[in-house]
Structure 1
Amino acid sequence: MAVDDILHTSQHPLLHSNGAHANNNKKKNINSVSLAKWVLKFTMWIVFLAWIALFFVIPTDFGSELYADWLDATSGSLFGYTGSLLLLYSAPIIIIAFLAVPYLLISEEDQLQLQLQEKKTPRFRLWTFPVLVDGPLGVVSAAELIGMILFIVFVIWEVYVYTAVILGTLPDYLIPVEKCCFILNNLGLRLGSIGLDCFAFLFLPVARGSVLLRLINIPFEQAIRYHVWLGHLTMLLFTLHGLLYLISWTIEGNLLKNTLMWVDLGVGHFPGVISLAIGLLMWMTSLYPVRKKKFELFFYTHQLYVIFIVFLALHVGHFIFGVSAGGIFLFILDRFLRICQSRKTVDIISIKCLPCGTTELMLSKPPNLRYNALSFIFLQIRELSWLQWHPFSVSSSPLDGKYHLSVLIKVIGEWTENLRGNILNSSGADLHLWPQTKITASVEGPYGHELPYYLMYENLILVAGGIGISPFLAILSDILHRTREGKPCLPRNILIVWAVKRSNELPLLSTNDMELICPFFSNKLNLEIHIFVTRESQPPLEEGQVHEATNSSPPMSNCCSMSVLVGTGNNIWFGLYIISSTLGFVILLFLLDIFYINPYEISSWSYKGLLLVICMLASVFIFGSVMVGLWHFWERRNATREACKDDRIILEKMQHNEIVAHNDSCQQKLASSISTYYGSRPDFKDIFGDISEKWGCVDVGVIVCGPPSLQTSVAKETRSQNIRRQRHHPIFHFNSHSFDI
């Protein structure tokens, strides 16, 4: 022992020296990572700005000359004009996707810690400052308004430039009728070209697990709005494009002949008519009144986008289709992964039915699946429908357990009512009949923010309507876990404002045992909960019974847990999947040109456009599927290395004696933080005004989950408070977490 003590003592200086070297190496690594991130971000910005500038410059005379020079320089290659347009329009966005993968890879470890450690002074942010709060567009932030204005300016600019070109090239020798047809034909052509430019952006927001959305930290439930706006603009331009041609052909007396025309060299009219007809059907059924009342009609007709794209390619041909091919290719990549993920069935660990018509499902997941408390999943129950997928917010924190996540499902429609009926009818009066319950679930996701932004506010206001409390239960659980474990977490002051119709919804709060998660949390967290029961004037005389049916045993393996292919999956494998599919696309184009198009002198624009679409699909299905198969094999191999453990056992071992000893005092403190108001609605002017005086000059994160009317009310008051803000008052940052297609 004496020798050991001497050796231990003699090693102290060496240990200190090694520690200093370790700190220096850590600083060097941090600096290297920061430099790499800066280089990647700078490169992506340069590529993106050049890509955007391309759309603005091309219509001008200067842009036309550059465009002609580019075609002359590149069209002599193997891929011809197709390669020229793909390089010019589609390659930039795919390059950004390539660069986004290493950026996310080196950011996933340190980004949250670095952002939490930064000392931020209260300031306004464009993406959290609501500007438009009333109207058909919903709540629009300053950043979104700027983006909309830029897009409108872009369309007006292109229309103006093309109109000037048309009028400048109008021949004087034509008679008035011929001049009218000349203007209509050329203007229709240019509007179609502008619509194709907008179409290049249309599929970027709708790729649910897109690496681009993760790069800019915009979740799918928010990005879907941009797809809707772009869809309306694109279809308006395409409709005007077709309408002007129809008017011109009617004046010329060749309406039927031109409508049915389908030529080998040039643009085929007939496939364009079919594509436009399908697009109009999709457009009409996607309008809000139809979508709200006949959602299934909207959903099923929207699957016609496949036929729309195919006939669009047949209409414009191979090289013109290259303008929008990049965004479509990234969407195909995402869609294929979603198909692979959704084919797998998922174990339902437990089911709990609450008297308010809400069902809690606990789903099995692998331990390496990453998500945050504001994530959501798409759920399919095959006993109810093989086609319907419904989005639900995750109600559990990723720290609640390594092998499960939970969702709360309220009966608000036919599908959810059938789900609850299926569960209750299967279990019957005797809860021991649970093993006979037959529910086959499949899951897509989780989707959501790349970073849990709610952790970056020291002060939070969470406003929920009804089942909108679900993601806030997950947030609260996540904060409590992080507080207990000492993980990075800023929130210290939390106000929850919850509006419900009936008091039978109040047991939803009991789904989280806050004392069990974090003993003595009230000493570390200032939590207030204001509950407004709008349709009851006084508390009920009797509390409702909670009926539950719970599986007594956890899953024994990961073979029936969720797949990690989509959402926030493994960045390395995801990057390899993108790279392999893109290289496969280039290889297939090369082989097609070498062995088919050039030897057989294939010249038809429509046919070559169809071959281009087939190459895009085949590259993902062939080359991408190989990478997905290797990904699956890697996941299964990792899964066998870990023994499945029951998370509830871990929770039960957590300071059990202390929890029991102080449970009564914790319950009293929790009860004192809850205020329930019957027969009234929340007055956000008073609530925000009281917070302004109480919390002082700080950043306050406001997150809303509920119906559009609730979002509008909170956004309006947030904007009002920020505009009338005094120096010692906080800055409110509006965030919405409501999924509404």
Structure 2
Amino acid sequence: MEDSHPNYSPLLSPQVVQNGYAKTTSVSASATKLILRSLIWVLFIFWLLVFLIYPSQSGNQWVYQIIGIAGGTPFGSTGSIFVIYAAPIILIAFLAIALLLVSGEETLCEKKKSKRPRFRLWTFPVLVDGPLGVVSAAELIGIVIFLFYVVWAIWNYTVQAIEEGSSQPSFKTKWTTVLESLGVHFGTTGICCLAFLFLPISRGSALLRLVDIPFEHATRYHVWLGHLTMVLFTLHGLSFVIKWSIEGNLAEKLDEWSDTKFANRPGVISYIAGFFMWMTSMPPVRKWNFELFYYTHHLYVIFVVFLALHVGDFLFTFAFGAIFLFMLDRFLRFCQSRRTVNVISAKCLPGGTVELVLSKPRSLRYNALSFIFLQIREVSWLQWHPFSVCSSPLDGNYHLSVIIKVLGRWTQKLREKIIEGEALKQSVVKVSVEGPYGHEVPYHLMYEHLILVAGGIGLTPFLAILSDILHRVRDGKPCSPRNILLVWAMRKSDELPLLSTIDMEAICPGYSNKVNIDVHIYVTRESEPPLEEGCVYKPKKSSLCPMPSVCPMSVVVGTGDIVWSGLYMFSSTVGFLILLGLLDIFYINPSGIEAWWYKGLLLIVCMVASVIIFGGLVVALWLRWEKQSYTSENSDDAKVIEQNVTAALEDPSPQNGTNSFVTRYGSRPDFKEIFEGVSEKWGHVDVGVIVCGPPALESGVAQEIRSHTITKQRHHHPIFHFHTHSFDL
């Protein structure tokens, strides 16, 4: 295939020229990264093996031998379990921060491009129509491995339970013994699943950044694990309920609060809280009443605390590592979201959408596929909603934009407030922000050829992608795709003005000579253009601030400064060990405290106190550093006016300026035809396909990619790589 742009710089070049010098990775840095990655893999494999062998009799004996060795230490048996089950995942988080710090900017854009197109497990959709949604080959392998562990554990525990029951003299005691053993082991397996449950929902977690799985993708793993965990806890509870019913002491046992074994009453409370979270998280309930799902999910505090009271410090330590990392992330989010952010511009757009332009500091780090959580106090003091960022970080140093579709009560109230503010000619909303979150690597820059598939408001992240690419092309930066096909499906043509919010020609004059951008629009519920076709929307001029404002977004976020994030995690971890050690040496051991539930409560208190006290001290210093840095930014840029920001925000041009702009009415995208056309045009190359839209759209694209990959010969056709930017929280 002949290259239409022979002078274009190679994508993802191994060397990036900055200030006239070639920036290359040093041998020492490469060796350091290799060592860190090796340590991470060793710890991770050890951590998984510990969980895997525990259900077997030999593995169980090995664990208890280690517990016996460390029984004489001040930390006791709990310290042994902490070292085996909790410490590895926390150490991996530390190593992840170190690896991210060593990698630096190379993590973002300097990854080498493969010499030839290749198949990837992460981007090949295997399941497309099932209850799990679109599942890649790598995800399917992970699911199979995890299910194998669960089946393996239950099988071993069932065999052990039958062996224990067979030694009992009577039929009744035989089955009650089996039920008790199964109940305990179902609960233990559930706690082991809990050790993974909280990892995907730590939004700024270094672990997610390490494997480059953004929070909006990781939530589906949390959902899957949540269902599995609650099924196991339900079987755990049913086993004991049946046992106690046979024995005739059900009510007494449910209300029992023992000191020297499991406390049943806290377990019942924990399960009830978990059950309500489970039921309200089901898709029908969540779609019917999102607020019910959102508020009920805060019962996780009761679920975790009373679980610790139920099982004590010993078993709770199995899941401590994941819960501790989640607690670190949650407290940091709380600190960031206390600030009220300036709304530079708030206006209503056609098609039932609104645009918010928020103030941010220059040092805030994000990429074009990031998203933020917003709380607007005039609408609701409790609700937080996620929105994709529709502006590129190259659009300007001091602003960030989101476009919101009016769909429910929350967004309708927001629109009414914005209309009220337009009438008063002032902003009447106050915004709090969490984030930005998203991919560590802007993967839209990893391909020379892109297909962007949007459904309705799903266009907004692609506006950021197009802007990001055009800025890079204009500035001569590497990592810019050369061929882009945008496929946009919408119900009615009143959403068309969204595309006018980006002026491609103004961002990169003459861009059509450097990058091919084709736009195919499908209006599915209109058979012909409306009468006012041709009148392109032009946003109203707004008084915008291209300079730093008084109240920008805070950079105190898990995906922010890596050094501060590492210090925050380190101080909290050390603080926890100090508090737990002092508690064991000066209170628990001298006082002879043996109550399981009380020691579990003390463990929770130590965790919370370490994050708030020790971690809070670092956060306070971080906030002070942020203020000083921001003051320095404001001083340095006091006489600098960002003309491109003012022009882009105040007076967007209605010109589209694309190489090809086609609008079809009364039809839906035929992805088979689209992919066949791309195959003939682009040849044997890697093609990144990014989808943002409803599940049906995702499934349609994924199904076509799977069919094309299986049936077509790779040396004649492209290899399509499936990515999704959609998420449902």
- In structure 2, the residue matched to 1:11 is none
Shift of 1:647: 8.4
Residues 414-563 of structure 1 aligned to structure 2 (within 5 Å): 414-428=409-423, 433-435=424-426, 437-542=427-532, 546=537, 551-554=542-545, 557-563=548-554
Per mean C-alpha deviation after superposition, the further-off stretch among 106-115 and 271-280 is 106-115
Contact 2:453 2:691 in 1 (8 A): yes
Per mean C-alpha deviation after superposition, the further-off stretch among 146-155 and 353-362 is 353-362
- In structure 2, the residue matched to 1:15 is none
CA distance in 1, matches of 2:567, 2:313: 27
Contact 1:581 1:623 in 2 (8 A): yes
Residues 260-299 of structure 1 aligned to structure 2 (within 5 Å): 260-299=255-294
- In structure 1, the residue matched to 2:680 is 693
Residues 293-442 of structure 1 aligned to structure 2 (within 5 Å): 293-428=288-423, 433-435=424-426, 437-442=427-432
- In structure 1, the residue matched to 2:660 is 673
CA distance in 2, matches of 1:620, 1:558: 31
1:483/1:645 CA distance change after superposition, 3 Å: farther
Deviations 1:126-168 (CA, angstroms, capped at 9, x unpaired)? 1110000002111011111111111110000001111122222
1:547/1:472 CA distance change after superposition, 3 Å: closer
Contact 2:455 2:488 in 1 (8 A): yes
AA aligned to 1:189 is V
Contact 2:165 2:173 in 1 (8 A): no
Q: CA RMSD in A?
A: 2.2
Shift of 1:111: 2.9
AA aligned to 1:77 is T
Residues 68-83 of structure 1 aligned to structure 2 (within 5 Å): 68-83=64-79
CA distance in 1, matches of 2:395, 2:114: 29
CA distance in 2, matches of 1:360, 1:593: 55
Residues 561-710 of structure 1 aligned to structure 2 (within 5 Å): 561-643=552-634, 644=637, 649-651=642-644, 670=657, 673-710=660-697
Contact 1:457 1:491 in 2 (8 A): yes
TM-score by length of 1: 0.92
SS in 1 for 2:26: helix
CA distance in 2, matches of 1:645, 1:498: 41
1:647/1:732 CA distance change after superposition, 3 Å: farther
Task: Check if 1:730 corresponds to 2:718.
Answer: yes
Contact 2:369 2:439 in 1 (8 A): yes
- In structure 2, the residue matched to 1:5 is none
Contact 2:420 2:428 in 1 (8 A): no
Deviations 1:152-195 (CA, angstroms, capped at 9, x unpaired)? 10000001111122222334442111111111110111111100
CA distance in 1, matches of 2:162, 2:107: 54
Match of 1:217 among 212, 215, 221: 212
Shift of 1:273: 1.1
Per mean C-alpha deviation after superposition, the further-off stretch among 359-368 and 593-602 is 593-602
CA distance in 2, matches of 1:88, 1:207: 22
Deviations 1:536-559 (CA, angstroms, capped at 9, x unpaired)? 111111156858565414176454
Match of 1:718 among 705, 710, 725: 705
- In structure 1, the residue matched to 2:96 is 100
CA distance in 2, matches of 1:419, 1:330: 34
Match of 1:63 among 50, 59, 64: 59
Shift of 1:288: 1.1
SS in 1 for 2:452: strand
CA distance in 1, matches of 2:364, 2:549: 11
- In structure 2, the residue matched to 1:40 is 36
Deviations 1:483-504 (CA, angstroms, capped at 9, x unpaired)? 1111122410000000111112
SS in 2 for 1:735: strand
Shift of 1:30: 1.6
Alignment coverage as a number of residue pairs: 705
- In structure 1, the residue matched to 2:46 is 50
Larger Rg: 1
Contact 1:399 1:478 in 2 (8 A): yes
CA distance in 1, matches of 2:146, 2:410: 38
1:702/1:671 CA distance change after superposition, 3 Å: closer
Contact 2:395 2:645 in 1 (8 A): no
Contact 1:434 1:551 in 2 (8 A): no
CA distance in 2, matches of 1:647, 1:156: 63
Shift of 1:64: 2.1
Contact 1:219 1:447 in 2 (8 A): yes
CA distance in 1, matches of 2:203, 2:331: 11
Contact 2:516 2:659 in 1 (8 A): no
Shift of 1:564: 1.3
1:73/1:585 CA distance change after superposition, 3 Å: same
1:87/1:559 CA distance change after superposition, 3 Å: farther
Question: Structure 1: any 5+ residue segments left out of the alignment?
Answer: 1-21
AA aligned to 1:473 is L
CA distance in 1, matches of 2:333, 2:296: 20
Residues 234-245 of structure 1 aligned to structure 2 (within 5 Å): 234-245=229-240
Deviations 1:494-539 (CA, angstroms, capped at 9, x unpaired)? 0000011111211111111111111110001011000001111111
- In structure 2, the residue matched to 1:205 is 200
Shift of 1:290: 0.6
CA distance in 2, matches of 1:502, 1:383: 31
CA distance in 1, matches of 2:82, 2:128: 40
1:550/1:653 CA distance change after superposition, 3 Å: closer
CA distance in 2, matches of 1:483, 1:441: 34
CA distance in 2, matches of 1:199, 1:652: 46
AA aligned to 2:532 is E
AA aligned to 1:600 is S
Shift of 1:358: 1.1
